[in-house]
Chain A
């Protein structure tokens, strides 16, 4: 399975943008890049996913490098409620048997 590498933790100030990096140098052509986050005492929640083009939704933006070997989740204006563990996951969306495999993720701390 293609693996992802994320920093263990990051800090941000409230109301500032946050860029969460993810390296996935062994990504295959059919792997989608998924991001989930897990708030304290909650199950993970879906944030965003993409294949090649940058993606935006109400929660975040996903910037994908041209060679697809890395990506960045962008929170445009961090709030205290964004403090969570963020997981970057590769998944072959064309293969229904391909499960989500969670790594260690990045623990984001947001300072007021």
Chain B
């Protein structure tokens, strides 16, 4: 089975800190995605990547950046964490037109 692993299940950070959320997939998928999920707002796409060193903005990229230096790893970076970035963050990967595989999520709290 394809596995998408997110490095932390729960994270607490302070306002203004630089935060790295890591995601690794083990099936050589080209595409990787970062979503955030908030009550009443559902899942919203932050950034995605089709290939190494490639990135595209999703629906809500403000306050975030990403890095994809290796095919299997896609990092989400909060340059200066704010309380409104408290959320559940979900990473996913896919091969071209097939189904997405999601990680279990990282629940980030910014205090």
Which positions in A face B, CB cutoff 8 Å?
34, 36, 41-46, 49, 93-94, 96, 99-105
Contact = CB atoms under 8 A, between A and B. Distances in A.
Given A34-B99, A101-B45, A96 B50 contact: yes
Contact of B33 (A36, A94, A99): A99
Interface of B: 4, 31, 33, 35, 42-43, 45, 48, 50, 58, 90-92, 96-97, 99-105
Given A94-B97, A99-B58, A43 B103 contact: yes
B7 to A, nearest CB: 14
27 contacts: A34-B99, A36-B100, A41-B104, A41-B105, A42-B102, A42-B104, A42-B105, A43-B4, A43-B90, A43-B91, A43-B103, A43-B104, A43-B105, A44-B92, A45-B101, A46-B100, A46-B101, A49-B99, A93-B97, A96-B31, A99-B33, A99-B45, A99-B48, A101-B45, A103-B42, A104-B42, A105-B42
Nearest to A95: B97
Contact of B100 (A41, A94, A96, A100): A100
B104 A44 contact: no
A46 B99 contact: yes
Contacts of B48: 99
B45 A44 contact: no
